[in-house]
Structure 1
Amino acid sequence: MKFLIFLGTVRDSTPPKPARLGAHVAKACMECLQSRYEEDEIELVDALDYPLEPVFKPHFAYPKSKVPPALNELAKKIESSDGFIMISPEYNHFMSPALANLLNHFGSSLFSYKPSVIVTYSAGQWGGVRAAVGMRTFLSELGCLPVSAMIHVPKAQEVFAADGSAQSGVDQASWFDYFGRAFNQLVWWAQAACEHRAQVDPHQLINGFKRDPSQRNAP
């Protein structure tokens, strides 16, 4: 299995401190996955590495010869992946604008028929749970249906250090067991979907919307 971890924050200045709290959570997720699923390939996709144009233009709208190389490369990674871990802080009770912007650059056909896990965090007590509610709808529309278990990390700066290790006095094993509930679901669904895709191509069975919005219209 191949999984992409999307880190949906581009904040890289202070205040607040630490500036990139999501990076702590992302590294902890990577460490958990790599320690428990050694045969799987895990790769981090950091929204900060994709300084996108201020005028929105999706990957599939470019002429083939003019697609930005970074978007083209990420599209290939998404298409070849078996599942996704979506990490987001909470902005006005919704997911990170940086994560939504990055994901919106790609058509749902790249994400479809693959599972995802929602991971949210905050510096406060709620752990981004309100953002997670909206993320379910967003990810379902992309076709990468979220598994039922979610991961929320309140007061993340007190839980994980910058390298993803547990802060002093924090029981990392207990946190990784909590992560594991969602990651086990992700791996199970990803394996099942991968095996079935090998037998039945869903994109042949159900045509994607690739030409214009009118394809969604009822007769």
Structure 2
Amino acid sequence: MAANKLKVVLFLGSVREGRLGLRVANFMKKKLEETNHNVTLFDPKEMKFPLLEKPVFFYQDKSQLPEWMKIAEQQVKDADAFVVVSAEYNHSIPPALSNMMDYFGASCYGYKPSGIVCYSAGIFGGMRAAMHLRCMLGELGCLSVSNIFGIPQVQKALDEAGKPLDPHMDSGALKLITQLDWHAHAMRNHRNSVGLPK
């Protein structure tokens, strides 16, 4: 059973002081692990991605890649699916999120699904950022599933450790994960049987 687990990279987008996104990331990581996934969290505050000057694919000689970048690239390549946890900055995607994801070429993301989890302290739940993310993820080749898990007033929905304070959190997460799983298994099976286009 363990060998059949889907590998998921969970991207957390916010680095600003007092961020609420870590609550959401911890909650989603736990829900994914409870539903038989191997999860790797990419947190730009911990990994400290520099402002992008040289993405992975700019290195002609891969031996010149910093070790942390080699490991991160391999984790993205090995993933079966992606979950993107995003705040909303000025009605759009946080710069730390796009900066982090842009380190890796579209070939790392292609032919794999993604799920969007957005949040805000207000009533809109980060949905305006989610609409921008749909476009970005589509261009990377990891189309997002139709369900978007939006969390308004996130400070009332999760405690500081990511424990749900609202019973709708579990059902909302599972609805997204169910869609993501269907697509991730189907795409993985197809990649394994026919490979990727040349």
**TM over 0.5: same fold?**
yes
Give the 3 Å change call, closer, same or farther, for CA 53–32 of structure 1 in structure 2. Answer: closer
Check whether the contact 2:120–2:126 (CA below 8 A) recurs between aligned residues. Answer: yes
Q: SS where residue 8 of structure 2 aligns?
A: strand
Alignment partner of 1:28 is 2:22: no
Q: Report matched runs for 1:20-169 at 5 Å.
A: 20-35=19-34, 37-38=35-36, 40-54=37-51, 56-62=53-59, 63-167=61-165
Q: SS where residue 149 of structure 1 aligns?
A: strand
Cα deviation digits, residues 155-211 of structure 1 (max 9, x gap): 1011101211123xx32xx32111111110101100001111111111xx2x4xxxx
CA distance in 2, matches of 1:54, 1:189: 32
Check whether the contact 2:85–2:116 (CA below 8 A) recurs between aligned residues. Answer: yes
Give the total of aligned pairs.
Answer: 192
CA distance in 1, matches of 2:50, 2:11: 19
Which stretches of structure 1, 4 residues or longer, exceed 4 Å deviation after superposition? none
Alignment partner of 1:199 is 2:190: no
Counterpart of 1:51, as a letter, is K
CA distance in 2, matches of 1:118, 1:139: 9
Counterpart of 2:185, as a letter, is Q
Q: TM-score w.r.t. structure 1 length?
A: 0.84
Aligned match of 1:6 = 11
Counterpart of 2:42, as a letter, is V
In the TM superposition, what is the alpha-carbon distance from 1:142 to its structure 2 partner? 0.6
Give the 3 Å change call, closer, same or farther, for CA 58–200 of structure 1 in structure 2. Answer: same
Q: SS where residue 9 of structure 1 aligns?
A: coil
In the TM superposition, what is the alpha-carbon distance from 1:52 to its structure 2 partner? 2.9
- Answer 1 or 2: which has greater strand percent: 2
Q: Which of these two proteins has the greater Rg computed from alpha carbons?
A: 1
Question: Structure 1 regions of 5+ residues with no counterpart?
Answer: 14-18, 208-219
Q: TM-score w.r.t. structure 2 length?
A: 0.92
Cα deviation digits, residues 42-84 of structure 1 (max 9, x gap): 2211111232334521111123222121111110001111000
RMSD (Å), alpha carbons: 1.3
What percent identity do the matched residue pairs reach? 36
Aligned match of 1:211 = none
Aligned match of 2:3 = none
CA distance in 2, matches of 1:182, 1:194: 18
Q: SS where residue 147 of structure 1 aligns?
A: strand
